Amino acid sequence: MELENTKEMNSSFNQKQHPHRRYNPLLDEWILVSPQRANRPWQGQTEKVTEEKLPSHDPNCYLCSGNVRVNGDKNPDYKGVFVFENDFGSLMKDNVEFSYEKSDFFTLKPERGINRVICFSENHSLTLPEMEVDDIKKVVDVWQEQYKDLGSEDYINHVQIFENKGSVMGCSNPHPHGQIWAQSSIPSTVLRTQENLKKYFDKNGRSLLEDYVKKELEAEERIILENEDFVVLVPFWAVWPYETMIISKRKAENILEFSDSEKFSLAEIIKNLTTKYDNLFEISFPYSAGIHQSATDGKPHPEWHFHMHFYPPLLRNAEVKKFMVGYEMLAEPQRDITPEQSAEILNNLSTIHYKSM
């Protein structure tokens, strides 16, 4: 088949109109941005999804207070935050004997770890944006306690705190909760981030994210929220349509360094960000979110700077999702709507939850 001959046209580059690649210094990788495919900000959803109204207590929910879990253990009649070890954890504490045999193609090693579940509230019907800031602050307190507790184990070298919200993100239970996976190895993505943070720190003597936040505050193109201690922004290299990062203004290696007032600031900005997400399409907005912070391997990590990623999959409405397929799986991440466009849309949303309006 012959392709039609087209005359090449030279024009000045415009990042709002022309395909381009953006560099992610945290992962040392590139993303393809194709703004010409969606070069106007989206004006709203095309249809609404009717959400199921959840009860404050579900007798069939294994996370609700007083209920019996699948393994036969009974939850206490807890109020507020409740933590327990995952009944079906992906990691095990067992220290097994292992004989290492080097191989070019079949290398493996045992992995030890601990999986815990954190229920944010006894109220089955709530999510983070619908909780009070004081109650979210209690969740942050527990994150701090768990990071310290798990990180003190000799064989735990990384503590991953995260939340999957919504069935589209694989969350099988709507009860407000998150997870912690603590393990003996530093996971691949975190290790890549650590290596790139260290390269920058060794070269400049400063935190990469501290310098990055200063530049973003000067540019004022991708800032969503800001308070005394934290900034929320759409990263210049964002992959997901409405991806954001919470970054501490002060370089803190991990959550243990935060004061009580800083933890309150973090809780406040989490509530405001997740409220904006819910307001975008007036639904309980799905996402995967998690904290990146220094390893618990007993080594100094001056390169680390606390930050929290939010990866939501929705694109144009409550039912149109961004999938990583084809080119994204085989070549590199790609997005249509630019980070600046999504930042503008998120920035214009209220921090008052739509259910309260």
Residues 296-323 have pLDDT tens digits of 999 999 999 999 999 999 988 888 888 8
Are 305 and 2 a contacting pair, CB within 8 Å? Answer: no
Ligand-binding site membership of 171 (annotated):
yes
Q: What is the mean pLDDT of residues 254-264?
A: 98
Are 240 and 312 a contacting pair, CB within 8 Å? Answer: yes
CB proximity list for 217: less than 8 A, separation 6 or greater: 223, 226, 231
Is 271 contained in some domain? yes
Is 341 contained in some domain? yes
Ligand-binding site membership of 307 (annotated):
no
Confidence (pLDDT) at 264 = 98
Q: Which two tokens stand for residue 2?
A: 């012959």
Catalytic residue among 20, 158, 177, 309: 177
Ligand-binding site membership of 173 (annotated):
no
Ligand-binding site membership of 172 (annotated):
yes
Q: What is the mean pLDDT of residues 266-287?
A: 97
CB proximity list for 69: less than 8 A, separation 6 or greater: 62, 75, 87
Confidence (pLDDT) at 357 = 85
Ligand-binding site membership of 317 (annotated):
no
What is the per-residue pLDDT across 170-192, written as a single tens digit (0 to 9) for each?
888 999 999 999 999 999 999 99
Nearest to 244 by CA among 311, 294, 307: 311
Is 81 contained in some domain? yes
Query: Does 43 have pLDDT greater than 70?
Result: no
Confidence (pLDDT) at 45 = 44
Q: How far apart (Å, rounded) are the C-alpha atoms in residues 289 and 347?
A: 19
Is 102 contained in some domain? no
Is 19 contained in some domain? no
Q: Quick one: pLDDT band at residue 47, thresholds 50, 70, 90?
A: very low
β-pairing, 244-248 vs 307-311, is: antiparallel
User: Is residue 18 among the annotated active site residues?
Assistant: no
Confidence (pLDDT) at 221 = 97
Query: Does 41 have pLDDT greater than 80?
Result: no
Is 74 contained in some domain? yes
Indicate the range of 2-6, 102-106, 140-144, 164-168 predicted with least confidence: 2-6
Confidence (pLDDT) at 44 = 46
What is the per-residue pLDDT across 48-105, written as a single tens digit (0 to 9) for each?
566 778 999 999 999 999 999 989 999 999 999 999 999 999 999 998 888 888 889 9
Are 219 and 212 a contacting pair, CB within 8 Å? Answer: no
Confidence (pLDDT) at 5 = 57
For residue 248, give the CATH number of its domain.
Answer: 3.30.428.10
Query: What DSSP string runs through 53-109?
Result: PPPSS-TT-TTSTTPBPTTS-B-----S-EEEE-TT-SSB-----------SS----
Is 206 contained in some domain? yes
Is 26 contained in some domain? no
Dihedral of alpha carbons 234, 225, 288, 85, sign: positive
Q: Domain tally for the chain?
A: 1
Q: How far apart (Å, rounded) are the C-alpha atoms in residues 45 and 316?
A: 6
Question: Can you give the residue range of the structural domain that contains 289?
Answer: 52-96+107-356
What is the per-residue pLDDT across 183-221, written as a single tens digit (0 to 9) for each?
999 999 999 999 999 999 999 999 999 999 999 999 999
Burial readout 265-287 (b: 16 or more C-beta within 10 A, e: otherwise): bbbbbbbbbbbbbbbbbbbbbbb
